[in-house]
Every structure is written in structure tokens, then in C-alpha cells.
Amino acid sequence: MNGRSPLPPPPPLSFGKRLMRSLRFYGLIAFVIVVWAGSSLFIAPIVRWGLDRAGEMIAREASLWHDAYLLDVHLRIPCQALETLPPACEGLAEDEGPVRYGKATVLYFWGELPDLDGLSYARRQKGETPDAEWEGAFYTLQKSFGALPVDDAALALARSEMAAYGAYGERTLPGGVLVIEAAEGSAAKSGNAYAVYQRNDGVRIAAACFGTVCKVPQAPWRTGFAYGFTVSKRHMADLAAIDAAVRARLDGFVAD
């Protein structure tokens, strides 16, 4: 059996058909060139203009500050650090000078913290429940109420709170954090604990850890003032570093 096809070969293309095929091919190339040129001349500048305006808007929002007094402490706070934006930060009010807050005010912040050796606590989804998984640092500043338990008083408070539920045990995390937690026979919910850590100035603080978070209600900041913060319980061993970062952030808000 030979390799020739039993069908006759197709007739050769006429000159007109070959010309039309060539014109379609070169027409397609010309169309691509026109589209590319149009994109470069018209579309690209529009896209660039939009990106430039968006960048300017982001830079402008990042540069907004809230000038305020909490009692006698003058604060200059980046608007992005505030949990709830004042009207001036949203462009809804004229800048009429510093806002003055009274002794019942609690200032709420969240976001990025310095000096955490690469650890990020900047992400937090608004609208989460207290037991949700947090990746952010939520912190506050307010007038202190009463005597804040620190050092031995903080340790005694943590032990007495856990003892009220029954048996408890103690263990020390690698970061030096002493965890006081419910033991077998305790009425406390499994996983609830107190974590006592030492600040970099030597002061010991107790954090209440429940659900998925650890919370420091109030710790002394400056004379008559206190701060608090809430983070994911996964970061229990890092409480001292987080505390130092919170205080450094608050110190950076002080205007004079």
C-alpha cells in the first residue's frame, strides 16, 4: 500500500484569495498596534492618574493627627491609631484646636506597635466578638481608678481569683510569664487563667486570660493615668514585650 491519499489535492488558492488572507493578517497586526498605542497614550495616563490620586489620599489620611488633652496630658495622636475616629479625623469638622477630655474618658486605640522584633499585632477585624481570634493589639488610655495591684499584690490577686473557683496550678512559660490556671476539680472554665508578667521596669502585672484573649484591665502609666490592652491568648508568653510596645506607643502620643 503506497502513502498517497486517495483524494485529489485541493486546488491552488487564487491570487485574490491569497491577497485577502494577507490583508487580514496584516490588518490584525495593525489592530494590535493601534490598541497598544491607544493604551499607552490614553488608558495608561488615566490609570496612572487614578493611582496617584489614591496614593495622595492614603498619604493624607496617614498624616492626620488628633490634638487632644486627657486631663492635663497633651496628646497628639495619629488618626489611624484611634479605634473610633473623631469628626476632625474624618474631615467632618473644622480644626478648632485641641479637644479636651474629662476624667471619665477612655481613649481606645488599636493597630501596629513598635519594638516587637518582627511580631505583628496590626490586624484586627472590626465587629468581632470578645471571644474571636484576634491578631491585633487593642489598647486604652484613661484616668486610673483606685490603687492598681502590681508586684506582690498582683500575684496575690491572681491566686485569690483562681482559688475562688477551687484547685489551681502554676507553671512558668519560657518568657518568664507565670500562668495560674484552674486544676482538676476547679469550677472555673477550662482554659481560664491569670498570667503574671514583669514589665521592663521591673513592675509585675497580672493579665486575665479567658476565651481566646488575654486582657490587662489597667496598669499604671503616668501619675494618675493607666493603660490597658487586649491581645490573643496565643501571645501569652509575649505579654512583657507587648506591654513595653503599648507603653512606647502611648509615650509617643505625648505632645509636650
CA 113 to chain centre: 9
Model confidence over 152-196: pLDDT tens digits? Answer: 999 999 999 989 888 889 999 988 999 998 888 787 777 789 999
Note whether residue 41 is domain-resident: no
pLDDT at res. 4:
42
CA 135/CA 120 separation, integer angstroms: 8
Query: In Å, what is the CA distance from 51 to each residue of 26, 36, 44, 61, 110?
Result: 35, 20, 10, 15, 28
Query: 44 in a domain, yes or no?
Result: no
Query: Would you give the distance in Å from CA 254 to the centre of its chain?
Result: 22
Sheet holding 65-70, edge to edge: 73-78, 65-70, 99-101
For the chain, what percent of residues have pLDDT higher than 70? 62
pLDDT exceeds cutoff 80 at 122: no
The answer to whether residue 17 scores a pLDDT higher than 60 is no
| Residue 76 maps to a domain | yes
- Average confidence (pLDDT) over 61-84: 83
Least confident of 108-112, 120-124, 173-177, 185-189: 120-124
pLDDT, position 188? 76
Task: State the cell numbers at 95.
Answer: 480644626
Would the pLDDT of 202 be above 90? yes
In a domain, 98, yes or no: yes
Kindly state whether residue 32 falls inside one of the protein's structural domains. no
Q: How many residues does the chain have?
A: 256
Instruction: Give the mean model confidence (pLDDT) for residues 69-82.
Output: 90
Does 21 map to a domain?
no
Domains: count for the chain: 1
The CB density around residue 35, as the number of other CB atoms within 10 Å, is 11
Burial class (CB in 10 A: 0-12, 13-18, 19+), 170: middle
Asked whether residue 230 carries a pLDDT value surpassing 80, the answer given is: yes
Domain range enclosing 213? 64-253
Geometric angle at alpha carbon 130, from 213 and 86, rounded to 5°: 110
Contact indicator for 58, 74 with CB cutoff of 8 Å:
no
Based on its alpha-carbon atoms, the radius of gyration of the chain, rounded to whole angstroms, reads 32
Would residue 186 count as lying in a domain?
A: yes
Percent of the chain's residues with pLDDT above 90: 36
* CA triple 137-204-176, angle to 5 deg: 80
Count CB neighbours of 95 within 10 A: 9
Contact predicate 155/196, CB 8 Å: yes
Q: Give the H or E element holding residue 151.
A: none
Which helix (H) or strand (E) segment is 109 a member of?
strand 106-110
The predicted structure's pLDDT at residue 250: 94
Using one digit for the tens of pLDDT, what is the confidence trace for 137-151? 789 999 998 778 999
Mean pLDDT score of the chain: 75
pLDDT the model gives residue 28: 65
